[in-house]
Amino acid sequence: MWFFLFLLLVAAVLGVLGAVVEGLLYLLFIGIGVLVIAVLVISLQRSRRRAGR
C-alpha cells in the first residue's frame, strides 16, 4: 500500500509542477502516466487477493 501512496504523491507533485511552471507541460503528462500506473498496480493487487480466496 505504501508503494501506491508513493506513486500518488509523485503523480501529484509532477502534475502540479507541470501545470504551474511554464514550459514544463511534459511533467503534467508524466504525472498522469504515473497516476495511471498507480491505479493499475492497486487494481492488480486487489485482483490477486480476490483470486486467492
Extract the C-alpha cell encoding 17: 509542477
To the nearest whole percent, how much of the chain has pLDDT over 70?
94
| Phi, psi angles (nearest 5°) of residue 43 | -70, -35
Cβ distance 7 to 37 under 8 Å?
yes
Report how far apart, in Å, the C-alpha atoms of 20 and of each of 5, 6, 17, 51 are. Answer: 23, 21, 5, 42
pLDDT at 52: 64
Extract the C-alpha cell encoding 50: 480476490
Q: Does the pTM of the predicted model rise above 0.85?
A: no
Q: Output DSSP code: residue 16.
A: H
